[in-house]
A and B are shown apart, each in its own frame.
Chain A
Amino acid sequence: MFYLIQLLNAVQYGLLLFLLSSGLTLIFGIMGVINLAHGSFYMVGAYLTYWLSKMTGSLWFAIPIGTAIAFAIGLLLETTIIRRLYRRDHLYQVLLTFGLILVFEELRSIFFGDEVHGVAVPEVLNFSIPLTETLSYPVYRLFITAVCLAIAALLYFVIHKTRAGMMIRAGNSNPEMASALGVNIPLLFAAVFAVGIALAAFAGAIAAPVTSVAPGMGNQVLIVCLVVVVIGGIGSINGAMIASLLIGLADTLGKILAPEYSGVAVYLLMAAILLWRPQGLGNKS
């Protein structure tokens, strides 16, 4: 039973990572931009949810509105700033998106202060399923897992089964050729960026009740998300899914089996996969 709970936690963490890193890997793969500020949107999503749920008293209102606001911010950022980076060297991208991290942290400090906040689990989901006499599993975590799975399925469907998905993959493979066939590449890029940002913010929003809403929370997840992108293969959604779940398992198992070394489990996994498949799990060599 103990292991079932750990497995459920690993899957829930992995799926949350997938929501975060799917956007990051698409943005990196399609536009070639390393968006270091991606984790900041995890934070933005969590803080917006904290603020909106305090204002309205409803998490069900706070999550979609917060995600929509993040989408709008993503669209604004892409059209004003990020767009200028596509033809630039990675150094410019890293500098500018690192600058964005500082801006978002400062804005967070101005508007919300530097304290740690909590978001209440909504009433209907605020109970646990008893597994044994002493162990039980909170339903809200199962809810996160289910919602993440649904979004992952939707993402898979859009990318692999729809014409928009074909255009996204074509743009990933050869944006110039896609544009010469009539695909509006600037619009496609803006949409992919904003959706990626919205997914990161959504992850922060839905996870807010089970994590603390705290300064710097985006930077911690950013590192792990970059590991997901590397393991899964740049630009590969399927790879990101496998990598996220692997990291969820490695992190959880590491904490159980070798708690004093748990911090390195994820990086050992990355090193092993890099040696075996340098192009990542989701990409062909």
Chain B
Amino acid sequence: MSAANLLEARGLHSYYGASHILHGIDFAVGTGEVVGLMGRNGMGKTTLLRTLLGLVPARQGEVRIDGRIMTNAAPHRIARQGVAYVPEGRGIFANLSVRENLLMAARPAADGNTLWTFERVLDTFPRLAERLDHGGQQLSGGEQQMLAIGRALMTNPRLLILDEATEGLAPLIAREIWRILDRIRASAIAAGVAIVVVDKNFAALSAIANRNLILVKGRIVFEGSGSELKAQPELMQQHLGI
């Protein structure tokens, strides 16, 4: 693991209540890299993301951001290092308007840049611009996901973490989300923004990701490019059901 790694985890063990979910995960994301995280339900994808974000305590192992140890740091401290989260279920603040959902998150990056402004987020998601005064709960699923991504971008992150990026969305909307993620990736690489994304759509995921991981029962069983994975259909069959 090189010094260029934005975020790096070693030997991570996490529990959900009494059950042991992560069994010694090694995980790294480089600057501007897109990592796809795959695996069936209950294999520990969400727990891994939440442990990296400081929302689930790591019992063993360490998490580093820019080489600095951030294991079990408060979530807001990790967020302020430039890590933004788009959770499964979107996590929209129902009692805030669309405008407020975006503005409450606004923050310059750790290095002071404000690449993502309110205006730029609305340019990226024109549908949100039409619904600024709507309550968060009045949006469709697709709009909520756009709001969750836009809100994460308002923090000017260096690493964007998306859990179940297109779950429950109509195919057309899901395609739009992938197109937007691709645009963020394309525009972001210059600024060094990395993306970690969990999704069930292997084709869409591997099209955008530089590297794919498969998680099985809290262990990483595959790490490689999309084409390397396609060359091992038995892996895909066994662990992803494709």
Contact = CB atoms under 8 A, between A and B. Distances in A.
A169 B93 contact: yes
Interface string A21-57: 0000000000000000000000000000000000000
Contact of B76 (A166, A170, A184): A184
B21 interface: no
Given A181-B152, A182-B105, A182-B155, A169 B87 contact: no
Nearest to A235: B95
Contact of B94 (A163, A173, A176, A183): A173
A185 B104 CA distance: 13
B90 to A, nearest CB: 9
A211 interface: no
B91 interface: yes
B96 A180 contact: no
Contacts, number: 68
Given A172-B95, A173-B93, A177-B87, A163 B103 contact: yes
A179 B105 CA distance: 10
Contacts of A169: 93, 95-96, 100
B75 A170 contact: no
A181 B94 contact: no
Interface in B4-55: 53, 55
Contacts of A121: none
A184 B152 CA distance: 16
B235 interface: no
A181 B95 contact: no
Contact of B91 (A166, A172, A174, A186): A174
A182 B108 CA distance: 11
B103 A181 contact: no
A166 B95 CA distance: 9
Contacts of B116: none
B55 A176 contact: yes
Interface residues of A, number: 19
Interface in A130-172: 163, 166-167, 169-170, 172
B170 interface: no
Contacts of B96: 166, 169-170, 173
Find the residue from A172, A177, A182, A184 having the highest chain B CB count within 10 A. Answer: A182
Nearest to A187: B76
A182 B80 contact: yes
- Nearest first, the 7 A-B pairs at minimum CB distance are A166-B104, A177-B91, A182-B79, A179-B75, A180-B85, A173-B93, A181-B105
Interface of A: 163, 166-167, 169-170, 172-174, 176-186
28 contacts: A163-B103, A163-B106, A166-B96, A166-B100, A166-B103, A166-B104, A169-B93, A169-B95, A170-B96, A170-B101, A172-B95, A173-B96, A177-B87, A177-B91, A179-B55, A179-B74, A179-B76, A179-B79, A180-B53, A180-B75, A180-B79, A180-B84, A180-B85, A181-B84, A181-B85, A181-B104, A182-B105, A183-B76
Given A173-B93, A180-B76, A180-B85, 13 more contacts: A166-B96, A169-B93, A169-B96, A174-B91, A174-B93, A176-B75, A177-B93, A179-B76, A180-B91, A181-B105, A182-B107, A185-B74, A186-B74
Interface of B: 53, 55, 74-76, 79-80, 84-85, 87, 91, 93-96, 100-101, 103-107, 151-152, 155
